Chains A and B, each alone.
Chain A
Amino acid sequence: MSSTITHIGFADESHWNTGRFRSLGMVTLPLNCLEIMESEVRWLLSKSQVREFKWKNLDGAKERFAAEKLCLFAVEKACTGQFRVDVLVWDVEDSRHKIAGRDDIANLGRMYYHLFRNVLRARWPNDAVWMLCPDEHTALDWGTLHDCLDNVSAGVEVERSLFTGGQFRIQLRQEFGIEEIQPVSSEAQPLLQLADLFAGLAVFSREKFNSYKEWLRNTSPQLSLFNDDNVSNNPSHSSRERFQVLKKFYYYCKNKKLGVSLENNYGLWTPNPVNPINFWMYEPQHPEDKAPQKKKR
């Protein structure tokens, strides 16, 4: 028996295995808003002459215009209460992740789990029934399911019964309210491109925080009147385009009082996770909270 899907989410990861900061972005909305929002995003992209937006390709004015339009779209829709953006960011130099033999793929799976648990149930009505659409090119690939289950110790045998027949589906519903998970292509799903944009922007805001502040100072009209040559570390063309997107996005959020901070935590951060644009920095939950490690073969 299947329930009628009421809500839909698009999730994408950024920098899952490179750099200090890694992220997962998810946009969520009621299913009955999907069609109109998809067509609006398509229209915004076509106005910018961008066929498919990808954060990693943002290195010119055309992509920047698209990114700025998408940021404004997200902020305006978030204000209606019919659209959320949640980005989970983790720092591989914190006590959870700075361990030998860290398994980044398995860790990514854990982060999906945290994101789903914290957003699907807690930020939307408890009776929402979800369809989730991760990027079809997700990094998650853990060998075969047979391998995974066969590696589980014999002591788990009894517990396997919890997944028997309908129990498995009940588990999915009880934990997350998920009815279906359907990977999709970014090109075909413009809202997945939004998840990619915010996942990328969140990491960028942290990794380039100091450069951004310097760029901001150097591009301030007041300063440039008196000081022409204090650019100590010229950012790349791509970084400059991205700084402009970050600046606009932060301005849009501030203008709508969305409670998104940039200065307080050295990157995009939303102190109140209930807010509809939520940049969430993963904090280790306790001393034993450690990322998974690669199994010795």
Chain B
Amino acid sequence: MTNTEVTKLAIAQTVFRDTLLPKLISGEIRVKDAEKFLKERGL
């Protein structure tokens, strides 16, 4: 893995940890809803 890829992965993990996971734990979104949400936003 290149340095750039490592950096990208680290950022992605941070986004996952700091945005999606708390929403899942709090029940604000479900796993399938999160997937749908990301898809709707073209992510």
Q: Interface range on chain A: under 10, 10 to 19, 20 to 34, or 35 or more?
A: 35 or more
Complex: how many Å from CA A106 to CA B17? 10
Q: A109-B18, A112-B21, A156-B15 are in contact. Are A141 and B29 (CB under 8 A)?
A: no
A132 to B8, CA, bound (A): 28
Interface of A: prevailing SS: helix
C-alpha gap A181/B22 in the complex (Å): 11
- Per-position 1/0 for B12-43, Cβ under 8 A of A: 11011111111111111111001101110101
Binds B, one of A14-22, A144-152, A217-225: A144-152
B43 and A138 form a contact (CB under 8 A): no
Q: How far is the CB of B2 from chain A (nearest CB, A)?
A: 13
Contact A169:B35 (CB < 8 A) given known A112-B25, A140-B26, A163-B12: yes
Residues of A within 8 A of B (CB): 11, 106, 109-110, 112-113, 132, 134, 136, 138, 140-142, 145, 148-149, 152, 155-156, 158-166, 168-169, 171-172, 175, 178-183, 292
Chain A to chain B: the 5 pairs with minimum beta-carbon distance, closest first:
A183-B27, A148-B19, A109-B22, A140-B26, A159-B12
